A and B are shown apart, each in its own frame.
Chain A
Amino acid sequence: MQVKELNDIINECRRFAKNEIRDQALEADLNPSPETVNTIWSKSAKLDIPSLLLPEIYGGAGYPALCGALVLDAFSSECAGIASVFAHHFAACMPLIDSLSDSCETYSTRIARMEGHGASPAAVIFSEEEGDGELVLMEKENTLMLTGITQPVGNTCRGGFWCIFANDPIQKNGVTCIFPDPDKIKNAFGKETRLPGLKINPFRQLHFQDFPINAAEIIGERGKSADLLKTTRAAFFGFVSAMAMGCTRSAYQKAFAYAEQRYQFGNTIIHHQEIQRMLGAMLMKLQMGTAGYTRLFSEERLHLPCSVPDPKLVKSCCTDMALEIILDAVQIHGGYGYMHEYGLEKIMRDVKVLQLLGGSNPYHHVRAIAEQL
């Protein structure tokens, strides 16, 4: 894909975010309403955003995952909560991209045409390896049953498709990808996990106890979706990174603009060296984070030790840096940064949730090394 084409998409999405999301963001945070998401979702369909990543042969736009990340970056600069709805949807679409099975065609076509469950944002669930959050697919009395309690997941209550990755003891380290009937999933809903950020996107845990799964609901071959999981999870980490950078891009710009007009200690504060240092550090993190997540989606790999980005570490780095950026952006705004109408404190809450999305960062650091042993 040409850089010009990517930049055109970025510009188009930034325009869309400015026109359709900006004015909704603070109200959506204060009084989250499904209607807000539905309206934005429907309007985004006119730009083919819900089907952005799906194959062209099924009616999708056929764009690469990087494109999805750039869309999320642009949307997050106005509201990370809204962007997170798209992020979960994009991740749920990932298993449909490479596989050419009939079921993939069905799901992709419905999303592209905005038909039935395809008209609503899809959701994705990754099973934990062991312990709380683990989902297991097992055969009981000739029926496949899903059991386990998930971590809090987004895009609940939206009515779209569900993409679930479950551990499957049919083989060692087996993983199965399932697209169960969305109407049945509602029975598994736990109560809403009231998170401090991304409020427009309701998160909740799902409780599966001997939840029946039909063979037709399985994507690909049973137990052999470990690679699909890896690809989908990697994309999701990239999407979270893009959102973290998108919302702090906005925070940095707001902090810069505020520092240019706020008078303190005899001058506008942007002329104070310590404020320049803070803004400079924010800019550094923003540039490195953006480079990191865009690089993650690049297929070019250098033969340099430690130069291939590990998706979970990119997510970890981007979200950690995003938190540092937003904490400083709030600080530069002083008391105003802590007040709702300035929108900075909302970004701070949103970023803290992004930091934990897909697993907490210190644990990712541990895993990055443990996996090499």
Chain B
Amino acid sequence: MDEKDLKYGLFADAPDLVDTIPALGKLKKACPAYISRAEKAQCIARKFAREEMLPRVLAIDTRCSKDPQYVDWDLWRKANDLKLNIAAVPVKMGGLGWSALDNAVLVEELSSVCLANAANITFNTFGLLGALVECKTDIVLNIIRMMVDAQKKGEPLFWSWAITEPSAGTDMEDGEAMAQMKASTSARKVPGGYRLNGTKCFITNGSLAHYVIATIPMDPSHPKESMATFFVPTTTKGFSVGRIERKCGQKASQTAEIFFDDVFVPEENLWEPPGRGLRHTREILSITRGYIGLCGVAMARGALDHCIRFANQKKRNGHMLLDEDWVKFAIADMMKDIMAVRAACYNFAIALDTSHIWSLFEKLPIKASLKILPGKMILGDALLNLSRLKPVRLLGSKYKGSIVSDRMVEKFVTEGSALKVAGTDLAVRVGSRVLDIVGLEGMAYDLGMEKYFRDAKVTQIYEGSNQANRIDLFHNTIGTLR
């Protein structure tokens, strides 16, 4: 950077969370600790994004173009050292205790530099989120313990969420569609557990995963009624990884085909019984879709921040490109969209803290336990053994169910779908439009702007295509009135 650099957005010296989302200022007065922690999260995340990620994302992208299996483990370790991959785990258990809002800040800052590398770090939350759906106490404690242990040892622990099948993408995420889907996987009951067969495709981190959370029907002729969720260690006999896809963008995030060849899953690893698989998926979507919307906003923001910096240094027609009227209008137009969708995404994150799964950590029994019990005991064997008792398991499940109802899940799916479409459409639009401003010269690979365009497109496709998200949005609102 030289003296002509504008200190704006990603390149600003000071964190700007409250400045750029004024509603948080009001909230800060009511809940100072809540917002202060988010501001601190922004400091940490932006520093990491700018100092650790930014200098190397293009090199990683280039390397992954040649070798889709490449992972920059050094970058991952730096994130691990900061506990960014277990940020949502309570402090007492060894994590950062970051709220949904703090995690939104983390996701935004990292994605504004590179969503693929951000995914390698933050998608670790999948394991925890998956366990929290049914919230069986032993499963939750065990998952957290594994995450924390791996973090302490500096060892990677990846989770994949295996939903998409070669002949069923959107069909796996919508009830009406699932009822008519053509399944590529199936499970059957055997003594002591289940046997899984079939193929899943486009699985994020499928090639790196230590554990896979797979949604598979017991009866492919009645997929919706028999859809179940299984927890599968990838070391299990019969599990294998196929092709790692060669993608247009987001190359640092591996997308793989995975195979189940008579994979045995013991009874206790059935996370959702037949008929509840879709509900499990919907609850995960109720959280992740909003975050993907924010990822889209973040990419738009990152692309625009780069574009502004370039336009401020590039001479056109006797003045700087940034002084061209049409450029000013275009930038302002993109800024207003980013500001609007970003504010809505943060509103969503705060709602997750208030009403969704994160609110669990604020409930008296959980809060008191975390406060009273010594840290070692919380994740110790004694408590884990206690949590395995059937009444305790069921209590955890029931208690969580009283907080996150089916109705609330669908409400968050609705909100999340709106944000997912708004944010990811914006990412593609801004990713393309900034290139119109900077021209062929600014499109050069080394300047990093074309990467945003390549990375953005898939966000309109995964986590339910934007068409599927629109269907959800309509059905869950207008559809319910007819």
Contact = CB atoms under 8 A, between A and B. Distances in A.
Contacts, number: 133
B56 to A, nearest CB: 17
A194 B436 contact: no
A194 B435 contact: no
A129 B317 CA distance: 7
Nearest to A152: B440
B467 interface: yes
A363 B246 CA distance: 35
Contacts of B390: none
Nearest to B449: A196
A132 B443 contact: no
Given A193-B444, A264-B177, A360-B439, A330 B457 contact: yes
Contact of B176 (A265, A330, A339, A340): A265
A338 B461 contact: yes
A203 B440 contact: yes
A129 B319 CA distance: 13
A132 B170 contact: no
B248 A349 contact: yes
B169 interface: yes
Nearest to B327: A362
B85 interface: no
B113 interface: no
A265 B315 CA distance: 52
A359 B435 CA distance: 11
A335 B330 contact: no
B453 interface: yes
A337 interface: yes
A307 to B, nearest CB: 25
A305 interface: no
A370 to B, nearest CB: 10
B85 to A, nearest CB: 25
Interface stretch (A57-65, A76-84, A350-358): A350-358
B260 interface: no
B330 A152 contact: no
B202 interface: yes
A353 B457 contact: no
- Most A CB within 10 A of own CB, among B315, B319, B428, B439: B439
Contacts of B453: 196, 352
Interface in B158-180: 164, 167-171, 174, 176-177, 179-180
Interface string B303-329: 000000000001111110000101000
Interface string B432-471: 1001110111011110001001100110111001110000
Given A132-B441, A264-B170, A335-B164, A361 B316 contact: no
A349 to B, nearest CB: 7
Given A130-B318, A340-B247, A363-B326, A196 B439 contact: no
Contact of B246 (A265, A274, A340, A359): A340
A92 interface: no
A359 B439 contact: yes
Interface in B236-293: 245-249
A361 B432 CA distance: 12
A196 B445 CA distance: 7
A366 interface: yes
B182 interface: yes
A195 interface: yes
Contact of B441 (A151, A340, A365): A151
Given A194-B445, A195-B440, A338 B457 contact: yes
A175 to B, nearest CB: 17
B439 A195 contact: no
Contacts of A340: 245-248
B324 to A, nearest CB: 8
18 contacts: A130-B316, A131-B319, A132-B315, A194-B445, A195-B443, A196-B453, A263-B167, A264-B171, A266-B177, A266-B180, A327-B428, A331-B460, A335-B202, A352-B432, A352-B443, A360-B437, A360-B439, A362-B326
Given A132-B314, A331-B465, A337-B461, 10 more contacts: A133-B441, A151-B440, A196-B453, A265-B171, A323-B432, A335-B458, A335-B461, A355-B435, A356-B440, A362-B326
Interface of A: 30, 129-133, 151-152, 193-196, 203, 205, 263-266, 274, 323, 327, 330-331, 334-335, 337-341, 345, 348-349, 352-353, 355-357, 359-363, 365-366
Interface of B: 164, 167-171, 174, 176-177, 179-180, 182, 201-202, 245-249, 314-319, 324, 326, 330, 428, 432, 435-437, 439-441, 443-446, 450, 453-454, 457-458, 460-462, 465-467
